[in-house]
A and B are shown apart, each in its own frame.
Chain A
Amino acid sequence: GAVVSQHPSWVICKSGTSVKIECRSLDFQATTMFWYRQFPKQSLMLMATSNEGSKATYEQGVEKDKFLINHASLTLSTLTVTSAHPEDSSFYICSARGLAGPTEYQETQYFGPGTRLLVL
């Protein structure tokens, strides 16, 4: 099956610093990548959607200047949490949508393993 990787898997940082999270589709080209956030015991919340070479589209209530998304290629997207604060501590999950195999006729969305961020 299709594989989406994230790096790092967890990060602890001091308040006020910036943290970059990488998301890669390892064996397929992603036409669209997504970033979700999940707080404890809650469901995933979509933060933003991005296409390669285009500006990301952010969901309502998500600060685009705080959560910078760069979609550099069809296999790589990065999320930078700028000036992180304790309330940004969460589980960040990326997702990539594409055709993951020669027999697929419709794009499927695959998820990375998540990055746990703790801001002290």
Chain B
Amino acid sequence: DAKTTQPNSMESNEEEPVHLPCNHSTISGTDYIHWYRQLPSQGPEYVIHGLTSNVNNRMASLAIAEDRKSSTLILHRATLRDAAVYYCILRDVYYGGSQGNLIFGKGTKLSVKP
């Protein structure tokens, strides 16, 4: 499985932007980059995903490097509710069989200070 590397933890101040990095130097051409987050005692929540171009949705933005070996999840204004573990996961676009399974790493624990 293609692997990702994320910092164990990050801190942010409330109402400031947060940039969560993810390295995936062995990404293949058919891997999508997915981001999920898990709030305490809850199941993971889908945040965003992309392939090559930067993506925006109501929750966040995803900036993907030109060589696709890294990406950054951007929370434009952190709130206390954004405190969670953020997972960056690669998933093959040809998701038949086990290639399409989401395999979770350790993620980045984001703390937000008021």
Listed in ascending order, the chain A residues whose CB lies under 8 Å from chain B are: 1, 4, 6, 32, 34, 36, 43-46, 49, 57, 91, 93-95, 97, 106-114, 116
Contact of B44 among A49, A93, A97, A116 (CB under 8 A): A93
* Contact stretch, chosen from B12-20, B60-68, B96-104: B96-104
Q: How far is the CB of B106 from chain A (nearest CB, A)?
A: 5
Q: Contacts A113-B43, A114-B42 given: A43-B95 contact, CB under 8 Å? A: no
Chain B contact patch, size range: 20 to 34
Q: How far is the CB of B61 from chain A (nearest CB, A)?
A: 18
Cβ contacts under 8 Å, B49 to chain A? 108
Q: Contacts A43-B107, A46-B101, A49-B98 given: A93-B43 contact, CB under 8 Å? A: yes
A111 contacts B43, CB within 8 Å? yes
Bound Cα distance A95, B36 (Å): 13
Interface string of B32-52 (1 = CB under 8 A from A): 100010100111111001000
**Contacts between the two chains (Cβ within 8 Å), count:** 52
Bound Cα distance A4, B45 (Å): 11
Bound Cα distance A102, B80 (Å): 32
B46 contacts A110, CB within 8 Å? yes
Q: How far is the CB of A71 from chain B (nearest CB, A)?
A: 15
A34 contacts B44, CB within 8 Å? no
Cβ contacts under 8 Å, B98 to chain A? 49, 57
Within 8 A of A (CB), among B68-114: 87, 93, 95, 98, 100-107
Which residue from chain B places its CB closest to the CB of A45 in the assembled complex? B104
Q: How far is the CB of B31 from chain A (nearest CB, A)?
A: 13
Bound Cα distance A112, B45 (Å): 9
